[in-house]
């Protein structure tokens, strides 16, 4: 967990996406830290947090872990932003604890129905293929992460050797590979609350890259149509991670 920025500023909590880590938010922390107290974390099964002891990776597990952490930190009112899987956790949290949120920010968030024609980055295809996912428990080439990161973004300038090394190393942190397999095996449980999105009343901002190959830009319209009063901003030429690919623009918004 990183607790940074202006100590007495409004609290902004940031949730990374699948197979990522809190590092994905470093550009926002640098740009917004003078105004906000910013809390970022490696979610269960990710980064240095490691696997969930009970093996659960459905929405409730992510939401309850986040809530327990923030309660322990004494944080009771905050804005919550999430990218991809983190966006899914963010809106699930908004449904579970509407009284604690001041704002919700969904950045290329998980939740929209899968497009059967989309081609997932190689790492995600492996994780969703039962036989291959078992092999990935013991054999995880760096090249898989290199290709997956390149396939996930449009602004290739953000894909450096250090970034690829970090993805590769953190995904091989003890227990994370097994956790990834268990999380993808529980993937189907994630759609249970999509019918409740209209219950979200907190001011919501939807940010999306129009070149997102993982969760296509139609997902922005999908959320906007379901969350009353939400605002939507689309970034031309940007992929799945606007907070890194278009840091200045997305942080300003």
Whose tokens are 């799945």? That residue is 240
Q: Mean pLDDT throughout 143-154?
A: 93
The predicted pLDDT at position 192 comes to 74
- pLDDT for the residue 185: 84
Range with the poorest average pLDDT among 84-88, 138-142, 153-157, 186-190: 186-190
Distance of CA 198 to the CA centre of its chain: 21
Is the pLDDT at 74 greater than 70, yes or no? Answer: yes
Candidates 144, 220, 213; CA nearest to 180 is 144
According to DSSP, residue 97 is labeled -
Alpha-carbon span 32 to 79, nearest angstrom = 13
Nearby residues of 99 by Cβ (< 8 Å), 6 or more positions away: none
Q: Which of 112, 20, 16 is nearest to 66 (CA)?
A: 16
Residue 169 vs residues 21, 89, 164, 165, 173: alpha-carbon distances, Å: 11, 24, 9, 6, 7
For residue 135, is pLDDT > 90? no
Percentage of the chain beyond pLDDT 70 is 88
117 pLDDT higher than 60: no
Between CA 16 and CA 80 the distance in angstroms is: 11
Pick the residue with more confidence: 66 or 188?
66
| Residue reference for tokens 């019918």 | 195
Banded model confidence at residue 165, pLDDT cuts 50, 70, 90: very high
Would you say 52 and 200 are in contact if contact means Cβ atoms under 8 Å apart? Answer: no
Half-sphere exposure of 5 (CA within 13 A, CB side): 25
Residue 5 has pLDDT above 60, yes or no: yes
Mean per-residue pLDDT over the chain, rounded: 91
pLDDT at position 140 is 80
Minimum mean pLDDT among 125-129, 167-171, 189-193: which range? 125-129
Q: Residue 38 has which token pair?
A: 């910013």
DSSP for residue 241 = -
Q: What is the pTM of this model?
A: 0.90
Q: Mean of the pLDDT values across residues 54-65?
A: 95
pLDDT at 132 over 50: no
For tokens 């497009």, what's the residue? 115
**Sequence-distant (≥ 6) Cβ neighbours of residue 60 within 8 angstroms:** 92, 96
pLDDT at 42 over 60: yes
């Amino acid at each position: 967990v990183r607790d940074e920025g202006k100590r007495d500023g409004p609290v902004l909590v940031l949730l990374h996406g699948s197979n990522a880590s809190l590092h994905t938010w470093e550009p926002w922390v640098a740009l917004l830290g003078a105004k906000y107290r910013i809390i970022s974390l490696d979610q269960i099964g990710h980064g240095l947090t490691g696997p969930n002891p009970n093996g659960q990776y459905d929405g409730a597990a992510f939401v309850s872990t986040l809530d327990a952490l923030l309660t322990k930190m004494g944080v009771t009112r905050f804005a919550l932003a999430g990218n991809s899987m983190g966006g899914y956790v963010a809106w699930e949290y908004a449904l579970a604890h509407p009284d604690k949120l001041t704002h919700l920010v969904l950045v290329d968030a998980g939740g929209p129905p899968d497009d059967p024609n989309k081609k997932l980055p190689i790492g995600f295809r492996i994780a969703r293929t039962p036989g291959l996912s078992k092999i990935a428990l013991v054999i995880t080439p760096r090249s898989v992460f290199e290709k997956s990161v390149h396939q996930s973004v449009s602004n290739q300038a953000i894909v450096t050797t250090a970034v690829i090394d970090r993805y590769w190393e953190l995904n091989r942190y003890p227990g994370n590979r097994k956790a990834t397999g268990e999380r993808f095996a529980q993937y189907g449980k994630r759609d249970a609350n999509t019918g409740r999105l209209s219950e979200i009343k907190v001011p919501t901002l939807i940010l999306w890259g129009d070149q997102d190959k993982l969760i296509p830009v139609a997902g922005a319209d999908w959320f906007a149509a379901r969350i009353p009063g939400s605002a939507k901003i689309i970034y031309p030429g940007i992929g799945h991670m606007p907070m890194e690919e278009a840091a200045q623009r997305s942080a300003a918004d």
